[in-house]
């Protein structure tokens, strides 16, 4: 295994992307899940996994990943927007969508671009 944990995470992400491009979708999901098991707060692995789940039509799995990212405070504004849009598609979760978006405004680490996106 690689000595630098971040490099190991990047290697897993690159491997998963390579597997996806070669049509090995199941392997890509397994690679990302294995990486998340080692680094459960890695947005570098969770982000491509929830996007892959959405692409596969696995909405509930994607929502669960996004909710975990929000609860762990590793979700970027873009992730919050995706989760809010998924909530908004369900008429019973409109209020949840607003809570997710409003929570993003409270993040202390918002850069200028992220803040502009959040307020737009």
Token pair listed for 33: 């899940």
Question: What are the helix (H) ranges across 25-107?
Answer: 25-38, 43-55, 59-71, 77-88, 94-105
Q: Residue 8, Cα to own-chain centre: how many angstroms?
A: 18
Instruction: List the CATH code of the domain at 1-75.
Output: 1.25.40.10
Token pair listed for 47: 């982000």
Along the chain (120 residues), what's the average pLDDT of each consecutive run of 10 residues?
A: 61 92 93 91 93 94 95 91 94 92 71 56
Domain locations in the chain as residue ranges: 1-75, 76-120
So what's the pLDDT on residue 69?
A: 94
So what's the pLDDT on residue 36?
A: 92
Q: Any residues with CB less than 8 A from the CB of 30 and at least 6 apart, and which? A: none
Q: Any residues with CB less than 8 A from the CB of 101 and at least 6 apart, and which? A: 80, 81, 84, 118
């Amino acid at each position: 295994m690689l000595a630098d944990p971040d490099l190991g995470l990047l290697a897993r992400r690159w491997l998963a992307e390579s597997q996806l491009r070669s049509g090995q979708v199941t392997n890509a999901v397994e690679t990302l899940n294995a990486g998340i098991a080692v680094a459960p707060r890695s947005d570098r692995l969770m982000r491509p996994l929830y996007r892959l789940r959405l692409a596969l039509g696995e909405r509930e799995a994607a929502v669960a990943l996004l909710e975990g990212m929000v609860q762990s405070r590793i979700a970027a504004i873009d992730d919050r927007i995706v989760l809010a849009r998924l909530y908004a598609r369900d008429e019973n979760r409109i209020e949840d969508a607003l809570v997710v978006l409003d929570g993003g405004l409270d993040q202390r680490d918002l850069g200028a671009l992220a803040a502009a996106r959040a307020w737009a």
